Amino acid sequence: MFSLNGKTALVTGASGGIGSAIAVALARQGARLALSGSNGAKLRAFREQLQAEHGGDHVEITCDLSDTTQVEELVPAALETLGSLDILVNNAGITRDNLALRMKDEEWDQVIRLNLEAAFRLMRACVKPMMKARSGRIISITSVVGATGNPGQMNYAAAKAGLTGMTKSLAQEVASRGITVNCVAPGFIHTAMTDTLPDATKEALNARIPMGRMGTGEDVGAAVAFLAAPEAAYITGQTLHVNGGMAMLG
């Protein structure tokens, strides 16, 4: 695919299903990674597996993105350990689903704080070193529901739609410095969580997708690797939808 040799990347939520697939995709193209997540033991095990299977000298940085102090320390820590930061992937996210009438304030606050506010703080922190280098890639993982909405997910859809708006705004601010800012919006993705769904539910979900199947973490990782590559230098402020045609959005 596209070479990322000599590039450095910070990936949040790196030990999760989609996050680990993104990390593998970037590592395969030669990037050196700072893997971030809230579970230190799980993160360390994934880093060791990544290095054993794909090589590279990667590092892990434990960070609770719901803690503002830890969020503010993450990019400086990545810069210190990697020496530079060429690529930021905002992948970490949580859901706290509930119907609007029943949604508690804390369910709203938790999702907005981690999915949207933490991403803003990380984007803001990495812009300065990227502007100095006159190069950079910022990629945020949004969701099809940020464009279509979804019952029971007002908080999650709002956060993902907000990421898209932040991306478009920042893209205009930093384009002249050689920095691109884009989103990847997955649809239904096969994960450990979807494995537990009843067969009838899986069949109903697949029926909504023209390609007849859920996507994989590798599908999302490939999209991120493309947007991170030098060949994507003229693409900014865009959302790459990876949903098998479920929602054909412009």
Domains of the chain, each with CATH number or no CATH: 8-242 (3.40.50.720)
Q: Return the beta strands (E) in the chain as ranges.
A: 8-11, 32-37, 59-62, 87-90, 136-141, 179-186, 239-242
Q: Which of 95, 143, 161, 167 is nearest to 241 (CA)?
A: 143
pLDDT in the model for residue 14: 96
Which distant-in-sequence residues (6+ apart) come within 8 Å of 79 by Cβ? 85, 129
Q: What share of the chain is helix, strand, coil (3-state, %, to 5)?
A: 50, 15, 35
| pLDDT tens, N- to C-terminus, the chain (250 residues) | 589 999 999 999 998 899 999 999 999 999 999 999 999 999 999 999 999 999 999 999 999 999 999 999 999 999 999 999 999 999 999 999 999 999 999 999 999 999 999 999 999 999 999 999 999 999 999 999 999 999 999 999 999 999 999 999 999 999 999 999 999 999 999 987 677 778 888 898 899 999 999 999 999 999 999 999 999 999 999 999 999 999 998 7
Burial of 219 (0-12, 13-18, 19+ CB in 10 A): buried
227, 240 contact by CB (below 8 A):
yes
At 197 the pLDDT is 76
Give the catalytic positions in this structure: 156
pLDDT for the residue 193: 67
Q: What is the DSSP letter of 186?
A: E
Cα 43 off chain centre by: 16
pLDDT digits (tens, 9 = 90+) for 63-82: 999 999 999 999 999 999 99
pTM value?
Answer: 0.95
From 128, 52, 129, select the one nearest 83 (Cα to Cα): 129
pLDDT for res 48:
95
